[in-house]
C-alpha cells in the first residue's frame, strides 16, 4: 500500500473512531446527485477523498506532496423536519476541529492546515431531507526515499538496520596522589563515556 492510500486509510479510521456507527469509505473526489442518493441509503455516512494538488522537491530527495483532503458528511432528517441539518453541522464542526493541526498518526505527514468547511445547500436535497456537509484541508506528505539516510549514515550489512550505537573503549586514568603529610597512594578512575 502506498503512502497516500495509507494516509487516507488513517483518516478513515480516525473518523470511524469518532463515529463508530457511521459508514465511512473513500471516494475519488468527484460526486454528483446520484452518488449522494446512493450514499443516503447508508446515512449517516462520510466519504473521504485525498487528491494531490502539487508536489515540491526537498533536499532529502523526497517529494513533499501537498494533498487536498475532502470529507463529505451526509445525514438525513429522522425525527422532525430539518433535524438532519443540526447533526450535519455538528459532524462538520467535529471533523474540522479534529483535522486542524492533526498528522493522523502518519510519521511522514505534516500537521493539517487551511481547514475549510461548509454545508451544501441545494433545494432538491433539502426537499428530500438530506443534509450534506464538506470539510476540506491541506496535508503535506513526504513520499519517496530519503536519500540523506542512505548517504549519511551507516548500516549493519547483515540486517540493513541503521547503526545507532557505536562501540566504545574503556578509558581509565591512573593518578598518583600525595598529601601534605607525605602519604601517597595511586588512584584509578574509570572515565568511560556512556553511549546514549
Q: Is residue 162 domain-resident? A: no
In tens, the pLDDT along 96-150 reads 999 999 999 988 899 999 999 998 877 777 777 788 899 999 999 988 877 776 7
Query: Does residue 74 sit within a domain?
Result: yes
Give the domain extent around 114: 3-148
23 within some domain: yes
CATH number at residue 46: 3.30.2000.10
Strand partners, 134: 72, 118
How many structural domains comprise the chain? 1
pLDDT in tens, 17-54: 999 999 999 998 888 878 877 887 888 899 999 987 78
49 C-beta neighbours (distance < 10 Å), count: 19
CB atoms within 10 A of CB 120: 14
Residue 158 lies in a domain: no
Prediction pTM value:
0.72
Sequence-distant (≥ 6) Cβ neighbours of residue 190 within 8 angstroms:
170, 171, 172
- Residue 194 resides in a domain: no
CA distances to 5, 17, 123, 174 from 70, in Å: 14, 18, 23, 69
Is the residue at 100 inside a domain? yes
In the chain, alpha helices (H): 3-18, 33-39, 83-99, 123-127, 147-152
Amino acid at each position: 500500500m502506498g503512502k497516500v492510500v495509507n494516509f487516507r486509510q488513517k483518516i478513515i479510521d480516525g473518523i470511524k473512531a469518532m463515529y463508530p456507527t457511521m459508514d465511512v469509505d473513500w471516494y475519488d473526489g468527484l460526486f454528483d446527485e446520484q452518488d449522494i442518493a446512493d450514499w443516503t441509503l447508508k446515512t449517516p455516512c462520510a466519504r473521504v477523498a485525498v487528491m494531490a494538488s502539487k508536489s515540491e522537491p526537498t533536499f532529502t530527495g523526497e517529494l513533499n506532496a501537498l494533498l487536498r483532503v475532502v470529507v463529505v458528511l451526509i445525514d438525513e432528517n429522522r425525527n422532525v423536519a430539518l433535524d438532519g441539518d443540526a447533526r450535519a453541522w455538528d459532524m462538520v464542526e467535529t471533523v474540522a476541529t479534529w483535522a486542524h493541526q492533526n498528522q493522523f498518526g502518519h510519521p511522514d505527514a505534516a500537521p493539517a492546515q487551511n481547514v475549510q468547511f461548509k454545508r451544501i445547500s441545494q433545494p432538491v436535497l433539502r426537499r428530500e431531507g438530506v443534509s450534506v456537509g464538506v470539510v476540506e484541508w491541506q496535508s503535506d506528505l513526504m513520499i519517496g526515499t530519503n536519500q540523506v539516510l542512505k548517504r549519511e549514515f551507516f548500516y549493519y550489512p547483515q540486517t540493513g538496520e541503521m547503526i545507532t550505537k557505536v562501540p566504545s573503549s574503556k578509558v581509565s586514568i591512573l593518578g598518583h596522589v600525595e598529601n601534605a603529610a607525605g602519604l601517597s597512594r595511586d588512584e584509578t578512575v574509570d572515565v568511560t563515556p556512556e553511549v546514549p
